[in-house]
């Protein structure tokens, strides 16, 4: 499934002043590809993901999914926010179940998929726990499981590991690579962490602020599996940091 942004511009009104947040955004996410977006705070990264998830509308331009203009909330696209946003009155299993609300899966299929994702995320023992009983990393794994459980073709991730400590972050990055290997999922991911972008992505989009534009698209040609300490990765990290 190809997600394409065609000449996207987005304005907001801030302090009664019109402000162009995104301007002339053009790129496409190819089937099975992982693209990371980096850029200064406020350059419109989250806004771009919200547009792609159908939660907001562009003022100019179109977003297409397999060449058809996107309308409403596309069921094949799933968005995971920076903070887990779990429902406090639902258990881990209940929160994951919720990700399948819009599907036609039978109750038995939903249970089976919930169990599968609980196991994949290492959460089986916490299936009946409530969000306040989970650590930050566990809660974020529940949110990612909820985003994946319906089998989306495109996963949008808005700084999903930003609030975690370094060890948890690395574990979840590797979990994401495993999910990718096991499916044909396309992923568009916002991150502040240039090393994370280079460790995970096929391409990195570097955005510039005010208004948010694409400054450069960097193809990551590093060999897979990647090593965070690899000198080539660290060299590219320094080069990308200079563009920010
Ligand atoms: N609903 C809204 N109404 C008005 N202004 C908004 C709205 N949403 C976002 N903005 C403004 O748009 C700009 C871009 O916000 P956005 O959250 O997309 O940036 P970002 O690059 O994701 O930032 P960060 O890296 O800090 O998360 C900001 O100046 C923000 O104040």
% pLDDT > 90, the chain: 85
What span, in angstroms and rounded, lies between the C-alpha atoms of 130 and 217? 41
- Exposed, middle or buried: residue 41 (CB in 10 Å: 0-12, 13-18, 19+)? exposed
CB 128 within 8 A of CB 92: yes
Res 142 pLDDT > 90: yes
Average pLDDT rounded to a whole number, residues 100-110: 94
Q: How many Å lie between the centroid of ligand 1 and the Cα of residue 19?
A: 10
- CA 63 vs. chain centroid, Å, equals 17
Q: What is the mean pLDDT of the chain?
A: 94
Look at residue 71 and tell me whether its pLDDT is greater than 90: no
Ligand 1 and 50: CB distance under 6 A: no
pLDDT the model gives residue 163 = 81
How far is the centre of ligand 1, averaged over its atoms, from the C-alpha of 5 (Å)? 18
Where does residue 194 fall: left (phi above 0), alpha (psi -120 to 50 degrees), or beta otherwise?
A: alpha
Reading the block at residue 174, the tokens are 């590797």
Q: Which DSSP letter does residue 30 get?
A: P
Pocket probe mutation, ligand 1, options 18, 47, 53, 79, max atoms within 8 Å of Cβ: 47
Q: Which helix (H) or strand (E) holds 237?
A: helix 231-243
Distance 20 CA to ligand 1 centre (A): 11
* Adjacency order of strands within the sheet including 203-208: 77-80, 154-158, 186-190, 34-39, 203-208, 213-219
Q: For residues 232 and 244, give the distance between their C-alpha atoms in angstroms, rounded to a whole number.
A: 19
Query: Which of 100-104, 125-129, 163-167 has maximum average pLDDT?
Result: 125-129
Name the pLDDT band for 74 (thresholds 50, 70, 90): confident
In the structure, what pLDDT confidence band is assigned to residue 183 with cuts at 50, 70 and 90? confident
Cβ 191 under 6 angstroms from ligand 1: no
Q: Does residue 73 have a pLDDT over 90?
A: no
Q: Are 116 and 38 in contact (CB under 8 A)?
A: no
**Can you list the domains of the chain with their CATH numbers?**
3-76+152-243 (3.40.50.300), 83-151 (no CATH)
113 CA from centroid of ligand 1 (Å): 35
pLDDT computed for residue 37 by the predictor: 98
Contact 189, 201 (CB under 8 A): yes
Express each pLDDT in 109-129 by its tens digit.
999 999 999 998 899 999 999
pTM of the model: 0.95
Percent of the chain with pLDDT over 70: 100
pLDDT of residue 168: 85
- Name which residue sits closest to atom 13 of ligand 1, judged by CA: 42
162 lines ligand 1 (CB under 6 A): no
pLDDT on residue 11: 96
Please state which of the ranges 3-12, 19-28, 123-132, 168-177 shows the lowest mean pLDDT. Answer: 168-177
Residue 72 has pLDDT above 90, yes or no: no
CB of residue 205 inside a 6 A radius of ligand 1:
no
User: Over 90: is that where the pLDDT of 155 sits?
Assistant: yes
- Is the distance from the beta carbon of residue 12 to the nearest atom of ligand 1 less than 6 Å? yes
Q: Please work out whether the CB of residue 18 comes within 6 Å of at least one atom of ligand 1.
A: no
Atom of ligand 1 nearest to the CA of 44: 18
8 A C-beta contact, residue 161 and residue 168: yes
- Going through the chain in order, the beta strands assigned E by DSSP cover 3-14, 17-29, 34-39, 60-65, 68-69, 77-80, 154-158, 186-190, 203-208, 213-219
In the predicted structure, residue 235 carries a pLDDT above the cut 90: yes
Residue 22, φ and ψ in degrees, nearest 5: -130, 140
Q: Which of 45, 57, 191, 197 best tests ligand 1's pocket when mutated (most atoms within 8 Å of CB)?
A: 45
Closest CA to 11 of 23, 1, 3: 23
Render pLDDT for 189-210 as a digit per residue (tens, 0 to 9): 999 999 999 999 999 999 999 9
């Amino acid at each position: 499934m190809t997600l394409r942004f065609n000449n996207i511009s987005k304005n907001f009104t801030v302090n009664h002043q019109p402000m162009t947040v995104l301007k002339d955004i053009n790129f496409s996410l190819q089937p099975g590809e992982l693209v990371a977006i980096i850029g200064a705070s406020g350059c419109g990264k989250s806004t771009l993901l919200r547009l792609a998830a159908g939660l907001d509308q562009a003022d100019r331009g179109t977003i297409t999914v397999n060449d058809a203009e996107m309308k409403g909330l596309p069921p094949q696209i799933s968005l995971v926010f920076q903070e887990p946003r779990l429902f406090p009155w639902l258990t881990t299993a209940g929160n994951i179940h919720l990700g399948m609300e819009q599907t036609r899966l039978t109750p038995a299929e939903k249970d089976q998929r919930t169990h599968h994702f609980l196991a994949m995320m290492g959460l089986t023992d916490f299936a009946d726990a409530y969000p306040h009983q989970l650590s930050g990393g566990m809660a974020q794994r529940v949110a990612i499981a909820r985003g994946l459980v319906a089998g989306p073709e495109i996963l949008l991730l808005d700084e999903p590991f930003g609030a975690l400590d370094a060890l948890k972050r690395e574990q979840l990055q590797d979990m994401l690579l495993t999910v990718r290997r096991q499916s044909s999922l396309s992923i568009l991911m916002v991150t502040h962490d240039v090393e994370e972008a280079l460790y995970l992505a096929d391409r990195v989009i570097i955005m510039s602020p005010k208004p948010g534009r694409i400054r450069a698209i960097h193809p990551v040609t590093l060999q897979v599996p990647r090593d965070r300490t690899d000198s080539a990765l660290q060299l590219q990290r320094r080069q990308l940091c200079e563009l920010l």
